Amino acid sequence: MTAPDIRYLEKMMKRAIVLARRGVGNTTPNPPVGCVIVRDGEIVGSGWHRKAGTPHAEVHALREAGEQARGADLFVTLEPCSHFGRTPPCADAVIAAGVGRVYAGTVDPNPRVAGMGIQKLRAAGITVRSGILESECRRLIGPFIRQMAAGLPLVTVKSALTLDGCTATATGDSKWITGEQARRHVHLLRAQHDALMVGVETVLADDPQLTCRLPRGARDPLRVVVDSRLRTPLDAQIFRVRSTATTLVATCEQDEERLTPYRELGAELMVCREADGRVDLADLLAKLGARGIQSLLVESGGVLAGALLRQELIDRLVLFYGAKLVGGVGRSPFAGSGVEKMSQAIPLQEMQFRRFGDDLMVSGYLRQW
């Protein structure tokens, strides 16, 4: 059998990656996965994992391909699963369909099953090759990898800044730095995350809803407020605005008399360890990870973001630059003293840039996978 051209392999894997992105934000505790089945150079089946508990990407693609899957090439962003969960093993379905060759983007990062799907396919006589566009496929499942490796959510800090690096004027005014297109994309980011976190200062200053407001509707992420001393007003919008999501208040307070009014509003209280008089952020992230939160979007002011940065708890940054200047003494997205020398500055990796009208989105990662 002639070895396929690498351009063909990468082209088809890119199609699978595009499909997988449709499921981002909806598949937890599973990772998003995309799959295409190719016969004689033509895609005859495609699918993506839409939601946990529903068929996986391979099953959707096999159903669409039908008999044309026999002897065909199957491209999938993550190796087919080999174990019974809420759905049967995809590796068994691939074998039963008579697929000729399987190309996987990356091996399953779950140490309990890593490589087992590939082994099962090879034992059935199917040719398997993994590592096609592996870096892109691993980025796609970054939150799943982070939880498998450390039991923590992947933390993304989002901020809007002027071109001179300010999140607000000296008086605290911040509406609006960016235009409507950029702000709409922020709601898409919310829909793609399991949880959305702010500090109590943001609640006191802006009284946000912390919901996902997209034209076609979307799932609201879990709303998390870091409030060490329970200063969140009981009439805040996060308690009054109707949402499919729970509001979770992370605090150091343990007095039931102070906790009860929030519980009566339907909020969940998460009592965390205390560090320097505030919620221990490492403890909070560990608790969120333990409850299955894989991706966390932080839309806070400089105090919370600065603390996360100093404690090396940020995985990714998404910064929106508005085409404006504040001048003078504005507010920084990261409060605190910062580094003293440029040689100590934190480098970002895998930078990406995207325009929204006159605004620019800059994103990058702070750690290697």
136 catalytic residue (yes or no)? no
Kindly name the residue from 58, 134, 180, 340 that is annotated as catalytic: 58
Answer whether 226's CB lies under 8 Å from 304's CB.
yes
* 133 Ramachandran zone, left/alpha/beta (phi>0; psi -120 to 50): left
Tell me how far apart the alpha carbons of residues 150 and 165 are, in angstroms, rounded to a whole number: 32
Say whether 78 sits in a helix, a strand or coil.
strand
Amino acid at 207: D
- Give the 3-state secondary structure of 100-158: CEEEEEECCCCCCCCCHHHHHHHHCCCEEEECCCHHHHHHHCHHHHHHHHHCCCEEEEE
Ramachandran assignment for 66, one of left (phi > 0), alpha (psi -120 to 50 degrees), beta (any other): left
Q: Which two three-digit tokens encode residue 254?
A: 């343990």
How is residue 273 written in tokens?
């360890």
By annotation, the residues acting in catalysis are 58
